[in-house]
Amino acid sequence: MPQGLLHLLAWLSPGFPTGAFAYSHGLEWDVESGDINDGNSLRTWLTDVLTHGSGRNDAILLRHAHRSAHDPAGLEQLAELATAVAPSRERHAETLDQGTAFLRAARAWACPSLPSPVAYPIAVGALAGWHGIDEHLTAAACLQAFASNLISAAVRLVPLGQTAGLQVLAAIEPTVLRVANDTATATCDDLGGCVFRTDLATMRHETQYTRLFRS
């Protein structure tokens, strides 16, 4: 078994201490507003976020960080870009807090030089590139982990049963693979999104009366 696969399984495990369980990516407000109330609406929301929102953007940033793993100046520029494209205060904190925690935990392995704080996709992409792990495998695995964490949040928030959550996870696998494939040739000029309601959700979450999550 390739050692790189073992690295990815460890780094992207729910047990890896990035604090991802504390963030809902705006999903908590979407549940409160009624936009997400069952497995079908969750699947639609996730598909949009992966295809047209932060899922796609993070995959592009991750891929370029992977290619720049041995270029400190390039990584610094990518880190600044990743910070700048966060559409709200909570999304900004979400990516920087998780990225910095990821890098701190990953010191058990050899790590490239990265600025701190650093956005999550930059940290994961750079570390995978530094260890020579396949770029496409890393992008697909990170997208899958991202979706899985949000489904876990929905299981608690909707509430959604574990079986329904797993059905959503299985149903979006083609989307994960498609986004991973589509971002293979994307440049940083291709960053952007059109999921405005999910971006607004993260802004409205800041003043939501009752909250379980930090975003």
List domains and CATH numbers for the chain.
3-8+22-205 (1.10.4190.10)
Report how far residue 202's alpha carbon sits from residue 207's, in angstroms, rounded to the nearest whole number. 10
79-108: average pLDDT:
95
Please name the helix (run of DSSP H) or strand (run of DSSP E) that holds residue 205, with its range, or none: helix 196-205
Q: Is the pLDDT of residue 1 over 60?
A: no
In this prediction, residue 94 has a pLDDT band, given cuts at 50, 70 and 90, of: very high
For the whole model, what pTM was predicted? 0.96
Predicted local confidence at residue 208, as pLDDT? 86
Report how far residue 134's alpha carbon sits from residue 8's, in angstroms, rounded to the nearest whole number. 10
Residue with tokens 């949009």: 48
Mean pLDDT, rounded, of the chain = 94
Predicted local confidence at residue 166, as pLDDT? 97
45-69: average pLDDT:
97
More confident residue, 196 or 58: 58
More confident residue, 196 or 69: 69
Report how far residue 65's alpha carbon sits from residue 161's, in angstroms, rounded to the nearest whole number. 36
> Which stretch of 5-19, 101-115, 145-159 has the lowest confidence by average pLDDT?
101-115
Distances (CA, A) of 116 to 21, 80, 98, 119, 129: 21, 11, 11, 9, 18
